[in-house]
Structure 1
Amino acid sequence: MSLSPFFRSPFTDLTGGLISHQLMDRCMKEESRYMECLEAYGLDRGVKKCEHLFSDFHECQTLTKQFKRFVAMRNERDRQIAEGKLKGDQQYVTPRVDSY
């Protein structure tokens, strides 16, 4: 979460953007939506009102759901290999290009 600095000066205004994702980062849109929501509701109310936007921004940064999904698919494939359902060349077949 972003907080205002205790001491505000032209230096803090210049360097404040260095810690954000606004310089062509993959989470640029999510951070922008979250900051706009915080600006609209204020910091105290915005933490509760903008919680869904923060969770999207947090997922974009950490990719935890994506990693958990990857681990679940790998465990399922390993289970099917152990049961003998996948044999030979079928064990590590890559998904089709348009399967997303």
Structure 2
Amino acid sequence: MYKINSISPFLRSPMTDITGGVTSHQLLGRCAKQEMEMMDCLEAYGMDRGVKKCSELIDDFSECHNLNKQFKRFVAIRSERNRQIAAGKLTGDNKYVTPKIDSF
């Protein structure tokens, strides 16, 4: 889960407003949409209730930011390929064949 206490600074000043964009994904980041949806929800419910009400949006942003599920999927595919190579199911040129263009 995303660390929700890292969203809002402890002490607000004009300097935190100026440098706030450095730590967000709004400057052409790939997670800009998810972050904006999460922040809108948190702003609507407040930080305390928003953690419970917006948990799905927080999890979506966390996945976009950290790519944990994508990495676990990659590790599972790689270990399955290594298992099939060790079992002798994949041999020769079939060991490291790339997927076809429209296969996913």
Fold in common (TM above 0.5): yes
- Residue 90 of structure 1 corresponds to 94
For residues 1-100 of structure 1, the aligned pairs below 5 Å read: 1=4, 2-6=7-11, 8-100=12-104
Alpha carbon RMSD of aligned pairs, Å? 1.2
TM-score, normalization: structure 1? 0.91
Q: Quick check: 67-76 or 9-18, which moved more?
A: 9-18
Q: Percent identity at matched positions?
A: 63
Deviations 1:44-70 (A, max 9, x none): 100111111111111111111101100
The code of the aligned residue for 2:80 comes to E
Higher relative contact order, chain-length normalized (CA < 8 Å, sep 6+): 2
* Poorly superposed stretches of 4+, deviation over 4 Å: none
Unaligned runs of 5+ in 1: none
